[in-house]
């Protein structure tokens, strides 16, 4: 005996994509139902992703800086870690944000239903409530699927063992394993590895390819890897062959160029080998929405699926799995439903690894510029020549890199590696979106001494204004 609710728009999933779409729909005067299986809004990003990881990285950063300041004549005693306190700090940050979202949903009169949605046909879903046997049928004119993604699982990994972690387990910070293996050299693995290393774990990172952060230019990654050689034991061009949980530890066998000959014993293994879109458990066939075998839904540049009144956004569709991409897609989908003639056609989607040092990229990489056959030129500014980097004693090996079209002088991409690189990326993103050329950036007066001055300097180097770097 399912209850029945009707909405002009149904949004499935309350992550950054879903809540942004729902709020924009409501702001545009549409009647919205938002279905989320978890008790709080915010999805992966706010609950078990972007935000808790950054709260933990903040704690790790303070510890790192306290250690580092010894160079400048200040010595702190070795920090004592109260893990429950760290976890409480992280949870407090998450709660503030998720509570804020609930209030924003209420203010907009968005109907929130807690449960799992499954399509019944092209205009309705059934929602199985999370904490009861109740069911609600939601009928809709338009639907936005924002059901996100989950950590990928591999057949040979005994995921059921509590010492085999995914990112959600790692974010719980219940314990600091003496030896931690991170499987995968992507952003999530490196960020969580950074936290645990600082909290006291000895961390091995196993990477199938020759470098971490596949797809990022070698020169940038090289700086990161060099400054992390002491933090992590990297095993490049190496694969995990077998994982055998025993009482005294998890035995891991490796193969490949840098594989240890003996199995290694770990107290925990963090599997961070990508994420899988959640498209296979929504009953999409009932609505006739095409989904591939990996769970990904295809859309056009207005975020419409093959069924024109059903849209999909965020991690469940193609493109980088990033919160800000989901948010912008959510806005476009909402506005299309409201009758606006808008498209999702960004010139750049920024990406940041909040590691030590940070890596931040926007627009084309050098690899992509080469592949696209663009006649490009690279201008780099080393942070060793930055007064601010020297004074603040940060990332003297950092670098700002701009990539220009050599024929038009237009900026086509940029990357930064160094402390706070992520906070410096905004200027490059805006410059790319505004089609700026080298002169636009070089003639912009940048405050001195700042790290973002390095962006202006790199443009001046391209322009030939600066020729005598130390």
35 binds ligand FAD (CB under 6 A): yes
44 binds ligand FAD (CB under 6 A): yes
Nearer to ligand FAD, 32 or 369 (CB): 32
CB 317 within 8 A of CB 324: no
Q: In Å, how far from its chain's centre is CA 108?
A: 28
End-to-end CA distance of the chain: 76
13 binds ligand FAD (CB under 6 A): yes
String of contacts with ligand FAD for each residue 269-298, x by CB under 6 A: ---------x---x----------------
**Residue 448 is among the residues annotated as catalytic for this protein:** yes
Stretch that binds ligand FAD, among 99-107, 140-148, 244-252, 393-401 (CB under 6 A): 140-148
Q: Smallest gap, in angstroms, from Cβ of residue 63 to ligand FAD?
A: 20
Count CB atoms within 10 A of the CB of residue 153: 12
Side-chain half-sphere CA neighbours of 267 within 13 A:
13
Binding-site member from 25, 30, 34, 50 for ligand FAD (CB under 6 A): 50
Q: Smallest gap, in angstroms, from Cβ of residue 43 to ligand FAD?
A: 3
CB 270 within 8 A of CB 181: yes
Q: SS3 sequence, 63-123?
A: HHHHHHHHHHCCCCCCCCCCHHHHHHHHHHHHHHHHHHHHHHHHHCCCEEEEEEEEEEECC
Binding-site member from 6, 37, 159, 396 for ligand FAD (CB under 6 A): 37
Stretch that binds ligand FAD, among 37-45, 80-88, 101-109, 245-253 (CB under 6 A): 37-45
- Sequence-ordered alpha helix ranges (H) in 338-411: 366-371, 387-391
Residue 352 backbone phi and psi in degrees, to 5: -135, 135
Binding-site member from 7, 15, 382, 456 for ligand FAD (CB under 6 A): 15
Nearer to ligand FAD, 223 or 284 (CB): 284
Count CB atoms within 10 A of the CB of residue 125: 26
Binding-site member from 10, 30, 117, 360 for ligand FAD (CB under 6 A): 117
Stretch that binds ligand FAD, among 320-328, 333-341, 372-380, 444-452 (CB under 6 A): 320-328
Nearer to ligand FAD, 295 or 382 (CB): 295
Q: Smallest gap, in angstroms, from Cβ of residue 36 to ligand FAD?
A: 5
22 binds ligand FAD (CB under 6 A): no
Q: Looking at 129, 309, 448, 452, which residue is catalytic?
A: 448
String of contacts with ligand FAD for each residue 60-99, x by CB under 6 A: ----------------------------------------
Nearer to ligand FAD, 328 or 452 (CB): 328
CB 17 within 8 A of CB 34: no
304 binds ligand FAD (CB under 6 A): no
Tokens 């950092």: give the residue: 398
What burial class does residue 193 get, using C-beta atoms within 10 Å of its C-beta: 0-12 exposed, 13-18 middle, 19+ buried? Answer: buried
Stretch that binds ligand FAD, among 14-22, 75-83, 255-263, 341-349 (CB under 6 A): 14-22
Binding-site member from 149, 194, 227, 348 for ligand FAD (CB under 6 A): 149
String of contacts with ligand FAD for each residue 193-222, x by CB under 6 A: ------------------------------
The DSSP string of 293-333 is: TTSPBP--TT-B-SSTTEEE-GGGBSS---HHHHHHHHHHH
Distance CA 317, CA 287 (A): 17
Nearer to ligand FAD, 291 or 389 (CB): 291
Count CB atoms within 10 A of the CB of residue 465: 14
Residue 372 backbone phi and psi in degrees, to 5: -80, 0
Stretch that binds ligand FAD, among 41-49, 193-201, 378-386, 391-399 (CB under 6 A): 41-49
What burial class does residue 39 get, using C-beta atoms within 10 Å of its C-beta: 0-12 exposed, 13-18 middle, 19+ buried? Answer: exposed
Nearer to ligand FAD, 49 or 363 (CB): 49
Q: Nearest-CA neighbor of 353 among 228, 170, 187, 171?
A: 187
Residue 29 backbone phi and psi in degrees, to 5: 90, 10
Nearer to ligand FAD, 358 or 453 (CB): 358
**Residues interacting with ligand FAD, by CB under 6 A?**
12-18, 35-38, 43-45, 49-50, 53, 116-117, 146-149, 167, 188, 278, 282, 314-315, 321-324, 326
The residues carrying an active-site annotation are 448
């Amino acid at each position: 005996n399912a209850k029945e609710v009707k909405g002009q728009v149904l949004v499935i999933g309350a992550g950054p994509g879903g809540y942004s779409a729902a709020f924009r729909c409501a702001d545009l005067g549409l009647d919205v139902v938002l279905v989320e299986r978890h008790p709080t809004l915010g999805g992966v990003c706010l609950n078990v992703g972007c935000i808790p990881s950054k709260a933990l990285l903040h704690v790790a950063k303070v510890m790192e800086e306290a250690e580092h300041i010894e160079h400048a004549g200040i010595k702190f005693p070795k920090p004592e870690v109260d893990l429950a306190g760290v976890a409480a700090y992280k949870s407090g940050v998450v709660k503030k944000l998720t509570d804020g979202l609930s209030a924003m949903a209420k203010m907009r009169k968005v109907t929130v239903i807690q449960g799992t949605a499954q399509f019944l046909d092209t205009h309705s879903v059934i929602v199985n409530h999370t904490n009861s046997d109740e069911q609600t049928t939601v009928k809709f004119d338009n639907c936005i699927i924002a059901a996100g993604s989950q950590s990928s699982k591999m057949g040979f990994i005994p995921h059921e063992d509590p010492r085999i972690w995914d990112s959600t387990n790692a974010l719980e910070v219940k314990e600091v394993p003496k030896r931690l293996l991170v499987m995968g050299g992507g952003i999530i693995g490196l960020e969580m590895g950074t936290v645990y290393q600082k909290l006291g774990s000895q961390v091995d990172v196993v990477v199938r390819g020759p470098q971490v952060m596949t797809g990022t230019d070698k020169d940038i990654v090289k700086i990161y890897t060099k400054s992390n050689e002491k933090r992590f034991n990297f095993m490049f061009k190496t694969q995990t062959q077998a994982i055998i949980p025993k009482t005294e530890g998890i035995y891991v066998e490796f193969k490949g160029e840098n594989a240890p000959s003996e199995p290694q014993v770990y107290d925990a293994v963090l599997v961070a080998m990508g994420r899988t879109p959640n498209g296979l458990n929504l009953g999409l066939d009932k609505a006739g929405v095409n989904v591939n075998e990996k769970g990904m839904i295809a859309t056009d540049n207005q975020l419409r699926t093959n069924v024109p009144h059903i849209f999909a956004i965020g991690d469940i569709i193609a493109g980088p799995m990033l919160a800000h991409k989901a948010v912008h897609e959510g806005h476009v989908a909402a506005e299309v439903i409201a009758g606006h003639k808008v498209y999702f056609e960004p010139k750049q989607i920024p990406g940041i690894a909040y590691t030590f040092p940070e890596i931040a990229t926007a627009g084309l990489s050098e690899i992509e510029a080469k592949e696209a056959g663009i006649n490009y030129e690279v201008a780099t500014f080393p942070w060793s020549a930055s007064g601010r980097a020297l004074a603040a004693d940060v990332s003297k090996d950092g670098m700002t890199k701009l990539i220009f079209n050599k024929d038009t002088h237009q900026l086509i991409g940029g990357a930064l590696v160094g402390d706070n690189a992520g906070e410096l990326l905004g200027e490059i993103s805006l410059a790319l979106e505004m089609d700026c050329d080298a002169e636009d950036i070089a003639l912009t007066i940048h405050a001195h001494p700042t790290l973002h001055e390095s962006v202006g300097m790199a443009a001046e180097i391209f322009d030939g204004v600066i020729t005598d770097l130390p």
